[in-house]
Amino acid sequence: MAETNWRLAFLLLALMGAFGLAIFFFSKVGETGGKVEKLPLGYLLRGAAGNRGVLTVSLSGFFVFFSYITVLTTLSPYLAAPPFRLSDSQIGMVISCPGLAGILLSPFAGWTADRIGRASTSALGLTAVALVFVTLEMATNWVAMAALFFVLGGVMAFGGPGS
């Protein structure tokens, strides 16, 4: 889509977001039929801020996300230069791989967190993220780079399992 018109990619994201919101607002999942007490947002935020587990998972997720964004910001010029010399569409494919892997593997990351705990899952995920970052330097072609970025997106899902 971006090859046709770069605005189409953002239009698709907006449509997907609207569809997701519609599913959320019209969904009956989680309804018990009884009256549910609505708590003020400030009360909920203070409770979350005072919970060490929530803070730990949030901080972990922040560092995973910040590392990922840092890599993506510097990646395009790196992939456009030798030895890769990728086209814009190839760069877009490489950069899209982590998002796809994250979508596919996030349910498994949540399942793993339920089985072995959030802290253990997060520690495993962050360790795997570090290993993938080290391995990225060894990629010599765009297919290897795309595969490693797919793996990166998958293990990032484990780095912040509480989010």
Residue 129 belongs to some domain of the structure: yes
Percent of the chain past pLDDT 90, that is, above it, reads 11
Residue 154 belongs to some domain of the structure: yes
Residue 163 has pLDDT above 80, yes or no: no
> Under 8 Å CB-to-CB from 152, ≥6 apart: which residues?
68, 97, 98, 101, 129, 132, 133, 136
pTM of the model: 0.63
pLDDT digits (tens, 9 = 90+) for 103-160: 899 899 989 988 998 888 888 888 998 899 899 888 888 888 889 989 988 998 887 6
User: What domain range is 69 assigned to?
Assistant: 52-163
What count of other Cβ atoms lies within 10 Å of the Cβ of residue 12? 12
The number of folded domains in the chain is 1
